[in-house]
Amino acid sequence: MYNDIDLTKIDLTQNAPAEEPQRQYYFIAKARELIRERSRQTGRPLTACIKTFGCQMNARDSEKLRGILEMIGYEHSESEEADFVLYNTCTVRENANLKVYGHLGYLSGLKKKNPQMIIALCGCMMQEAEVVDKIQKSYRFVDLVFGTHNIFKFAELLVTSLESSRMVVDLWKDTDKIVEDLPTDRTYSFKSGVNIMFGCNNFCSYCIVPYVRGRERSRKPEDIIREIKDLVKDGVVEVMLLGQNVNSYGKNLEEPITFAQLLRQVEQIEGLERIRFMTSHPKDLSEELIKVMRQSKKICRHLHLPLQSGSTPILKKMNRRYTKEQYLDLAARIREAMPDIAITTDIIVGFPGETEEDFQETLDVVRRVRYDSAFTFIYSRRTGTPAAVMENQVPEDVVKDRFNRLLALVQDISKEMSLKVQGQTLPVLVESVNEQDSALVTGRLSNNLLVHFPGGRELIGKIVNVYLKECKGFYYIGEYVPDAGEGSRSGSDEASAR
């Protein structure tokens, strides 16, 4: 475990060891020396800021990067007016990509005020050759660029950058490597993401993720279990198992294992209270998984099941490998097995060739599945993906109109679904003091709904019973029930019918 590593015992007069993670600890020790020296020269501690764009994978990667920076001796800064600024980028839609360029303009101004400042870029966007070309041409003030496959090498790259006056660029096309046991600095003390796999092999025709995250690789179950046990020892009560398609976990391991089997092992970990996971690809969701979820006391009553489109011909063009009917049947089986489960989804509007008829099929699925909530996206053309060169790209005004109609429907249904638990008393994991009103704390139900209720900061990280008094659309106002036993107080369990 990295907690046991004593950096002062690392002999920096020797060459760096070849094997990982020892090699990275050597460079952490070396960077620490260099940063100490710089800090002595400036007469103050040096600060570092990481900004994360994109999904939970990136958020988890940023925790690892922050763990390394902390060990090196940087002080954490929320503001980008820092000595080291790292953007962990996303490129799933064009908007994510544009945001980064916008922010870079701002950083260039800051660097003029603090020429010692180091600016680094990493993450999915950096795996695109055109992006890196553009940065090398037009953003010369950037000091360090690396990608998703060599993120474990951050300490080593930082040392190279500290010792160089030129832009350091290190990008790998792909990797089969998984480096374990590097430090992390968690955002929350009581919950944590845990990668169970990296990359994606699905190649949905609109999606850039397989190109920027590489081929699917699963971590060994024993490494995952060990990490979660350590997290629990450190105060974590909820884990979110992360993968682009958790349902295909373990297929390529030397000793293959299913995701459902992994969940059974995670369930056994004493002291762990809640298990979440994301994302589930509908084509690989097994009957075994539904059974494990139903029997589990720890797996939360929430399933994120991206639909993308309700039209079978569009799904085929998207290379999703399920039909409308198969999806509906799956959702029905899940609801039947676990009537209290929340099902959420992702939907793309305006995929090339989408007709009004196709769109109506999407609305039909939304009405039938009745999502507890849904992320809706306007199709974004990603260079290099098969869909980018498909004919019949849908005009913008048509897409906008469909998007608005979909959003209205999704929100109506979501409000009705939220009402289902009104009047019940349910366990809530308290996450923070409420941002608007410090007399309230904010927590999450097993089904992922947010609840605000009067309470103090000492409740953070605890699972407490809360009476769900008033549904405010997508969240609840509740009351803390200190001595209530398990279960429902009023028993009211009706969905508001239309």
Binding stretches for ligand F3S (CB under 6 A) = 54-55, 57-58, 90-92, 124, 209, 212-213
Among the listed ranges 146-154, 210-218, 362-370, 376-384, the one in contact with ligand SAH (CB under 6 A) is 376-384
Which residue bears the tokens 């279990």? Answer: 225
Binding mask 259-288 for ligand SAH (x = CB under 6 A): --------------------x-x-------
- Nearest distance, CB of residue 206 and ligand F3S, angstroms: 12
Rounded to the nearest whole angstrom, what is the least distance from the CB of residue 213 to ligand SF4 in the complex? 7
Secondary structure (H, E, C), the chain: CHHHCCHHHCCCCCCCCCCCCHHHHHHHHHHHHHHHHHHHHHCCCCEEEEEECCCHHHHHHHHHHHHHHHHHCCEECCCCCCCEEEEEECCCCHHHHHHHHHHHHHHHHHHHHCCCCEEEEEEHHHHCHHHHHHHHHHCCCCCEEECCCCHHHHHHHHHHHHCCCCCEEECCCCCCCCCCCCCCCCCCCCEEEEECEECCCCCCCCCCHHHHHCCCEECCHHHHHHHHHHHHHCCCCEEEEECCCHHHCCCCCCCCCCHHHHHHHHHCCCCCCEEEEECCCHHHCCHHHHHHHHHCCCECCEEECCCECCCHHHHHHCCCCCCHHHHHHHHHHHHHHCCCCEEEEEEEECCCCCCHHHHHHHHHHHHHHCCCEEEEEECCCCCCCHHHHCCCCCCHHHHHHHHHHHHHHHHHHHHHHHHHHCCCEEEEEEEEECCCCCCEEEEEECCCCEEEEECCHHHCCCEEEEEEEEECCCEEEEEECCCCCCCCCCCCCCCCCC
Cβ distance to ligand SF4 smaller for residue 207 or 228 = 207
Residue written as token pair 């019949």? 392
Q: Tell which one of 10, 120, 209, 365 touches ligand SF4 (CB under 6 A).
A: 209
Counting contacts by CB under 6 A, is residue 373 touching ligand SAH? no
From 143-151, 206-214, 332-340, 390-398, span contacting ligand SAH (CB under 6 A):
206-214
State residue 472 phi and psi, 5-degree precision.
-110, 40
Which residues contact residue 342 at a Cβ distance below 8 angstroms, ignoring those fewer than 6 apart? 301, 302, 303, 372, 373, 417, 447, 448, 449
Question: Judged by CB under 6 A, how many residues of this single chain contact ligand SF4?
Answer: 10
74 to 93: interface string for ligand SAH, x by CB under 6 A: ------------------xx
Minimum distance from CB of 60 to ligand F3S (Å)? 10
Among the candidate windows 95-103, 197-205, 230-238, 425-433, which touches ligand SF4 by CB under 6 A? 197-205
Shortest Å, Cβ 493 to ligand SAH: 30
Relative orientation angle of helices 356-369 and 396-418, to the nearest 10 degrees: 10
Q: Which residue, 27 or 154, has its beta carbon nearer to ligand F3S?
A: 154
CA atoms of 159 and 164, how far apart (whole Å) = 9
Nearer to ligand SF4, 89 or 202 (CB): 202
> Can you tell me which of 202, 344, 373, 414 binds ligand SF4, judged by CB under 6 A?
202
Residues 6 or more apart whose CB falls under 8 angstroms from that of 14 comprise none
Asked if residue 245 binds ligand SF4 (CB under 6 A), the reply is yes
Query: Residues 64, 85: contact at Cβ < 8 Å?
Result: no
Interaction between residue 207 and ligand SAH (CB under 6 A):
yes
Note whether 379 binds ligand SAH by CB under 6 A: yes
CB of 180 to ligand SAH, least distance (A): 23
Give the nearer residue to ligand F3S in terms of CB position, either 195 or 446: 195
Residue of 35, 194, 207, 429 that binds ligand SF4 (CB under 6 A):
207
Which residue has tokens 């999407």?
A: 362
User: Residues 24, 244, 418, 425: which binds ligand SAH (CB under 6 A)?
Assistant: 244
User: Of ligand SAH, ligand SF4, ligand F3S, none, which one sits near residue 379, judging by CB under 5 to 8 A according to partner kind?
Assistant: ligand SAH
- Among 161, 218, 244, 376, the residue binding ligand SF4 under the rule CB under 6 A is 244
Q: Which is nearer to ligand F3S, 54 or 221 (CB)?
A: 54
Q: Which is nearer to ligand SAH, 77 or 323 (CB)?
A: 323
- Of the candidates 177, 203, 295, 384, which one interacts with ligand SF4 according to CB under 6 A? 203
The binder of 93, among ligand SAH, ligand SF4, ligand F3S, none, by C-beta within 5 to 8 A per type, is ligand SAH
**Which of positions 384-423 make contact with ligand SF4 (CB under 6 A)?**
none
CB of 242 to ligand SAH, least distance (A): 10
Strands 84-89 and 47-52: parallel
**CB 19 to ligand F3S: min, Å:** 28
User: From ligand SF4, ligand F3S, ligand SAH, none, which one binds at residue 91 (CB under 5 to 8 Å depending on kind)?
Assistant: ligand F3S
Site residues (vs ligand SF4, CB under 6 A): 200, 202-204, 207, 209-210, 244-245, 281
Site residues (vs ligand SAH, CB under 6 A): 92-93, 206-207, 209, 244-245, 279, 281, 306, 308, 346, 348, 377, 379-380, 382
